[in-house]
Amino acid sequence: MKLIKTGAALALTAGTLSAQGVFEVSPNDGVTESIPLEFSVFANVGWDDNVTPTTIYEGDESMYTNFGVGANYVNITPQTTVDVNLKLGMIYYFDAPEDPSADDTYYSVRLPFSIVHRVSERLRFATRNYVFYGLEPDYNYGAVNDRSNEEYFYISTDNSIGYKWTERLGTYTGFQWNTLDYDGDDSRNDRDNFVLYNQFRYVISQQTIGTLDYRYRMTDVTDGRDSDNQKLLLGVEHRFSETAVLIARAGVQYREVDGRDSQTDPTFELEYRNAVNESFRVRASAAYEINDYGTSLFGGASFENNQVLRFNLAGDYYVSPDLYLTGGVNYINNDYYGGGVPEDTVDVFNMYIGATYEITHNLSGNINYNFTTSNDDTGALNRDYDRNRVQGGLTYTF
């Protein structure tokens, strides 16, 4: 009987973790209690030693200011969970970049929001959405593989129905749609993806669920070849404790690019999360697949594929009730090939550390350091650079 009760609790949980990217895009990930609507204002000052790293003006440095407003809301009831987080910001570089195509002012919007509604013990609906406009890539999410000197607009929506057919067997069925739209010359890399997926979930034990995923993705490329992709993944989700979970999936990816021969490649996804105690939380992930991001070149040429290996590690630690530390690393290996152009490999390594101190109940100060290095094997994509950023500021919440 204990296994059946545990199975009922596990059969429809964690069903679409991978669909949201490497980590959940909401900063409220892991929150178990409601958060009343709160607003914030922030202002930072920083230094960037390589404002336009992928241009001939690499090494252009400048002080900058970054400020904006935010809103956060979480409502958790036995039937419905609503999670909304909004951040509006602006970056202003005091020294205008030497690159004539670059601006001294950039704007950003970041809005993850999700709703999960449990109709009954057997049936639930979920919609997870992410809206982003801005300059910097979010390496934890993975919408963009490396640095861009242009603002881009990204929307992602994932909608699913979960149903528990028996005490041990459940399914998640849904669709995803996302679009990537650059402002300037990089518009040749604009993409639209539409994905249909179904996941079977079977309770193996009190802590373990076996999964079988099928995903079909259609990709529309603005200046390149469209493609169809199918994935078949066999996986396991194992809870070591109430706070520690491992998600592992591996299988094959069948890919067809317009006008080219089809190919079959291995693919996998790994994710580990652990709230070690009330003070320390760690997350790690790795993924491997063939995708279409960043494959279009100037002059109409394009690669057929980008074979991507991605690794991420992040940790949060409360030294005291007032002092909070965070840090992490991201590694992305991009292998571009096919399409009649020479193969190119770009390795991106990103590292960040930060500290936040609560000065008063509503006011906190923060300082952050970020280092990025990118190695472009042949130089075809002009992605060979180092970059350092340091930033400090204040945030007021009310």
Q: What ranges do the domains of the chain cover?
A: 2-397
C-alpha to C-alpha distance for 90 and 108, rounded to whole angstroms: 6
Token pair of 40 as six digits: 């914030």
Conformation bin of residue 30: beta by default, left when phi > 0, alpha when psi is -120 to 50: left
Percent of the chain whose pLDDT exceeds 70: 87
pTM of the model: 0.86
C-alpha to C-alpha distance for 108 and 132, rounded to whole angstroms: 7
**Terminal alpha carbon distance of the chain:** 47
pLDDT digits (tens, 9 = 90+) for 68-106: 999 999 999 999 999 999 999 999 999 988 877 788 899
Q: Compute CA distances 199 → 4, 171, 236, whole Å.
A: 20, 5, 12
Mean pLDDT of the chain: 86
- Per-residue pLDDT band for 322 (boundaries 50, 70, 90) equals very high
For residue 198, what are the contacts with CB-CB under 8 A and spacing of at least 6? 171, 172, 173, 213, 214
| Cβ contact 373:386 at 8 Å | yes
Higher per-residue pLDDT: 396 or 378: 396
- Per-residue pLDDT band for 15 (boundaries 50, 70, 90) equals very low
C-alpha to C-alpha distance for 218 and 195, rounded to whole angstroms: 6
What confidence score (pLDDT) does residue 319 get? 96
- 3-state percent helix, strand, coil for the chain, nearest multiple of 5: 5, 60, 35
Q: What are phi and psi of 299, to 5 degrees?
A: 80, 10
Q: Is the pLDDT of residue 394 over 90?
A: yes
Supply the DSSP string of 102-125, one letter for each residue. --SEEEEEEEEEEEEEE-SSSEEE
| Cβ contact 364:354 at 8 Å | no
What confidence score (pLDDT) does residue 176 get? 95
At residue 383, the 3 state secondary structure works out as coil
| Cβ contact 43:69 at 8 Å | no
Q: Which of 1-15, 235-249, 274-288 has the lowest mean pLDDT?
A: 1-15
pLDDT digits (tens, 9 = 90+) for 180-197: 888 776 777 788 999 999
Q: Compute CA distances 229 → 4, 180, 215, whole Å.
A: 37, 18, 8
Residues β-bridged to residue 255: 229, 263
Q: CATH for 2-397?
A: 2.40.160
Token pair of 111 as six digits: 């809005």
C-alpha to C-alpha distance for 173 and 202, rounded to whole angstroms: 15
C-alpha to C-alpha distance for 168 and 242, rounded to whole angstroms: 19
Instruction: Report which of 219, 349, 350 is spatially closest to residue 295, judged by C-alpha positions.
Output: 219
Residues β-bridged to residue 92: 65, 105
- Per-residue pLDDT band for 382 (boundaries 50, 70, 90) equals confident
